[in-house]
Amino acid sequence: MLVIVNPDTAGAETLRSAVDPEAVILTSVDQARHHLQEHPEVDVAVIGAAVDLEPALALAGAMRVSRPDVGVILVRRRVDTVVLTESLRAGMREVVAERDMAALGIAVRRAREIARAMRNQGTVTAGSDDIRSLGRVITVFSAKGGCGKTTLATNLAAAIADGGRRSVCLLDLDLAFGDVAIAMQLFPTHTIADAVPIADTLDATAVAALLTPHSPGLTTLVAPVEPGAADIATPVIATVLRLLREMFEYVVVDTPPAFTDHVLAAFDESDVLALLATLDIPALKNLKLTLETLDLLNYPRDKWRVVLNRSDSKVGLAIGEVEKTLRVPISAEVPSSRDVPASINRGVPIVLDSPNHSVSNAIKQFAERHVISAAVTSSIPKPLRDDRRGGLLRRKAKHT
């Protein structure tokens, strides 16, 4: 259900015709506050341009505390940096120009997707009235570029979501060269870089304002689109990850090919580490070094899942020899196919584009066996987690 807050009757009718003919029109912020308290089914509130900014921000701030599932969208005659920053800090889901009705319709659709995900974010644990179970985090990593991390991450997220059966967020943590938005044909209004100016007030509502829905059950938080915006402090990344765990049943993390502090922060929160390689000596060498590094840093082995991409390549290496060399089992073998790059070029994950494809089946089997059906593994001891914040070189020095 949607409400429109606007004392201008004509303006309110224009907004209603653009987004929802059944929307309820309210003429004041006070009236809206009371209506939202009395009607829990409302998921979006659109505040018209005739409402002054200060009471509009106050309403968003109040909903941030009492009704975080409600997406508050602000309509302004003029949108500038000051309005955007203040709105994000107050908890507005989006800010839209008054004349851009198409953008408003998209914003409403996004807000409804996010509201649905937040309402399905978890169940109450036994014996507790106020503690929700945390979502599971799956981090996809390879120390070598070109192995197909983004392809695996996007398709794994889509496979877990399964058309809306589960709530999933895909986080692009390759802050400098992330490709999730391009691979999924997304046009984000916000990216993870927008968390930086509101780092001191980050909560579920603030993070929800940065998300971009993709398909039923699947939402994304994409990497910065501008090169200069990639400098994000590690504590901000860690906070965002913890909030996403509270908001979604599953969080899939795509990563850069390096052991950065951002990647280690994701490892710290992860229940499953999907470690990717291909059937070539450089990739397998880097995978072996990755496993040794994870051992050195005491990441539990029961979280490791080795995924072999393009596993049917005829290059003179047998799967059994690879397992013997790595001393870990191969959890999934994803075959090679020309249909994969074709699906990437179309911007549709192959598990959605061709659900019965051999690649789709391999990824869906991995998701079912090692993510969805797997029991929650033991957490990393807190003293080790605290030590990791000092950087990788300090960690290596400690364990030598």
- Residue 311 shares a structural domain with residue 286: yes
- Residue 232 shares a structural domain with residue 361: yes
Residue tagged 């994969």 (tokens): 340
Could you tell me the CATH number of the domain that includes residue 92? 3.40.50.2300
Residue 125 lies in a domain: no
335 by Cβ neighbours in 10 Å (0-12 / 13-18 / 19+) ranks as middle
Residue 124 lies in a domain: no
The pLDDT tens digits of the residues spanning 290-311 come to 999 999 998 999 999 999 998 8
pLDDT value at position 64?
83
- Residue 113 shares a structural domain with residue 209: no
Domain boundary among 119, 152, 168: 119
pLDDT value at position 264?
94
252, β-bridge pairs: 138, 170
The pLDDT tens digits of the residues spanning 164-192 come to 889 999 999 999 899 999 999 998 888 99
pLDDT value at position 120?
65
* Residues spanned by the domain of 71: 2-119
Domain boundary among 119, 148, 178: 119
DSSP string, 195-217: GSTTGGG--HHHHHTT-EEEETT
- Residue 252 shares a structural domain with residue 348: yes
- Residue 230 shares a structural domain with residue 333: yes
DSSP string, 150-179: HHHHHHHHHHHHGGGTS-EEEEE--TTT--
Residue 131 lies in a domain: no
- Residue 216 shares a structural domain with residue 346: yes
End-to-end CA distance of the chain: 59
* C-alpha span between 93 and 72 (Å, rounded): 5
- The number of distinct structural domains making up the chain is 2
Give, for all 400 residues of the chain, the pLDDT tens digit. Answer: 899 999 998 999 999 998 888 899 999 999 999 999 889 889 999 999 999 999 999 998 888 888 888 889 999 998 888 888 888 888 888 888 888 888 888 888 888 887 877 776 543 333 334 445 789 999 999 999 889 999 999 999 999 999 888 999 999 999 989 999 999 999 888 899 999 888 888 888 888 889 998 988 899 999 998 766 778 899 999 999 999 998 899 999 999 999 999 999 999 999 999 999 988 888 899 999 999 999 999 899 999 999 999 888 776 677 888 888 888 999 999 999 999 999 999 999 999 999 999 999 999 999 999 999 864 443 334 334 344 434 443 344 444 4
Burial 28-46 (b: 16+ CB within 10 A, else e): ebeebbeebeeeeebbbbb
* C-alpha span between 385 and 382 (Å, rounded): 5
DSSP string, 230-266: ----HHHHHHHHHHHHHH-SEEEEE--SS--HHHHHH
- Residue 239 shares a structural domain with residue 357: yes
Residue 321 lies in a domain: yes
| Angle between helical axes of 281-296 and 392-399 (0-180°, round to 10) | 70
- The gap from C-alpha 376 to its chain's centroid, in whole angstroms, comes to 20
pLDDT value at position 374?
67
Structure tokens at 263: 């990647």
pLDDT value at position 209?
85
- Residue 231 shares a structural domain with residue 341: yes
* C-alpha span between 166 and 174 (Å, rounded): 25
Radius of gyration for the alpha carbons in the chain, expressed in angstroms and rounded: 22
Domain boundary among 119, 146, 181: 119
Of 266, 178, 166, the closest CA to residue 222 belongs to 178
**List of E strands, the chain:** 2-5, 24-26, 44-47, 71-76, 94-97, 136-141, 168-172, 212-215, 218-221, 250-254, 272-278, 304-309, 330-334
Residue 128 lies in a domain: no
pLDDT value at position 339?
94
Neighbour count for residue 115 (Cβ, 10 Å) = 20
- Residue 39 shares a structural domain with residue 151: no
- Residue 394 shares a structural domain with residue 351: yes
pLDDT value at position 235?
92
